[in-house]
């Protein structure tokens, strides 16, 4: 695409869209980012600043952005950091048994990689920015950035899988490079492949907020690599805690409201206690529910 205004608008769109994708993607696979939630954001700010600082300098870094992006996305997925869910101990912040690369390797890698990717994309935005008077360029940049944010919102709201995010990125890269090289096309295809291939273990879905995994063998549910819930038999002695809220009711229960129903353990306990009607409220619709609870 040779239209300069459209180029700047779409490049700014891509920059903010990729930033949001990196935040979601890295946070879903690296549990450290649950405690350093602004790490990717800070790396993005640094990268965007560096890209604009070298707006009038070569070489063109934008052409390497697709390759850098696909390498980062693939490495984060291949080497995730998750909490070890094999133990039965309670999970406390600051004392976690994790599986994956240690903090001192993973966090610097993520920060530097995100900064590098955003530098490459921002360099392409800055080059297009310099073709206009400052206020005109700024106006197009703001409009494109806002459009990137607005476009990402419905993708998460309607729980579109990551392959949908990557499809938007791939399409923008092809349009902005105008005559994409073979390397660009290979990088875009690989990006879609990495996003589309499911994890080997567990059944994976994406909510508006998290990556949710369900492990059918032990009926465990993990969210962003953190053990979240387990489907249990509430009649077993070790699970009597689910019955305790209803012990004070000696007569027949009427209507029961459960906020944060999860996979249905509390619903099962209410029904077992004789509730005539249960309203279950759960924010994440993708949380698996044990059918025997229904």
Domain co-membership, 145 together with 262: no
Q: Which of 151, 170, 197 is the last residue of a domain?
A: 197
Domain co-membership, 193 together with 215: no
**Residue 237 included in any domain:** yes
Q: Which of 197, 227, 260 is the last residue of a domain?
A: 197
**Residue 83 included in any domain:** yes
Domain co-membership, 14 together with 137: yes
How much is the pLDDT for 93? 47
Cis peptide bond prior to 229, omega within 30° of 0: no
How much is the pLDDT for 198? 67
Q: Closest by alpha carbon to 97, among 228, 220, 226, 214? A: 226
Domain co-membership, 108 together with 11: yes
**Residue 36 included in any domain:** yes
**pTM exceeds 0.75 for this model:** yes
Query: Where in the sequence is the domain holding 93, given as residue range(s)?
Result: 4-197
**Residue 258 included in any domain:** yes
Domain co-membership, 162 together with 18: yes
Domain co-membership, 67 together with 134: yes
Domain co-membership, 178 together with 268: no
Q: Which of 163, 197, 231 is the last residue of a domain?
A: 197
Domain co-membership, 126 together with 248: no
Q: Rounded distance, CA 123 to CA 215, Å?
A: 43
Domain co-membership, 75 together with 144: yes
Q: What residues pair up with 82 in beta bridges, in sequence order?
A: 99
Rounded to 10 degrees, what is the CA torsion of 46, 48, 49, 50? 80
Q: What SS3 state is found at 220?
A: strand
**Residue 205 included in any domain:** no
- Asked whether residue 201 carries a pLDDT value surpassing 80, the answer given is no
Q: What is the mean pLDDT of residues 157-171?
A: 94
- Asked whether residue 205 carries a pLDDT value surpassing 50, the answer given is yes
Domain co-membership, 45 together with 188: yes
Domain co-membership, 267 together with 173: no
* Number of separate domains in the chain: 2
Best-predicted range by mean pLDDT (7-16, 89-98, 152-161): 7-16
């Amino acid at each position: 695409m040779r239209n300069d205004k459209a180029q700047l608008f779409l490049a700014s769109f891509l920059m903010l869209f990729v930033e949001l994708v990196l935040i979601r993607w890295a946070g879903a696979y690296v549990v450290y980012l649950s405690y350093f939630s602004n790490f990717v954001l800070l790396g993005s700010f640094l990268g965007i600043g560096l890209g604009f600082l070298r707006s009038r300098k070569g070489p063109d870094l934008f052409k390497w952005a697709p390759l850098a992006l696909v390498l980062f996305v693939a490495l984060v997925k291949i080497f995730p950091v998750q909490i070890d869910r094999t133990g039965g101990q309670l999970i406390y912040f600051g004392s976690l048994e994790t599986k994956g690369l240690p903090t001192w390797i993973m966090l610097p890698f993520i920060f530097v990689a995100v900064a590098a990717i955003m530098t490459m994309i921002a360099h392409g935005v800055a080059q297009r920015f310099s073709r206009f008077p400052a206020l005109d360029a700024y106006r197009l940049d703001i409009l494109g950035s806002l459009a990137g944010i607005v476009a990402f919102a419905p993708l998460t709201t309607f729980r579109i899988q990551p392959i949908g995010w990557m499809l938007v990125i791939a399409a923008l890269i092809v349009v902005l490079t105008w005559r994409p090289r073979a390397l660009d096309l290979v990088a875009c295809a690989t990006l879609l492949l990495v996003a589309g291939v499911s994890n080997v273990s567990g059944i994976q879905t994406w909510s508006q907020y998290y990556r949710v995994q369900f492990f059918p063998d032990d009926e465990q549910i993990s969210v962003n690599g953190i053990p979240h819930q387990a489907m249990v038999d509430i009649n077993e002695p070790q699970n009597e805690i689910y019955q305790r809220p209803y012990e004070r009711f000696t007569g027949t229960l009427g209507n029961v409201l459960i906020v944060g129903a999860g996979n249905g353990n509390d619903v099962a306990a209410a029904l077992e206690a004789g509730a005539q009607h249960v309203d279950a409220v759960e924010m994440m619709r993708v949380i698996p529910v044990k059918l025997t609870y229904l």
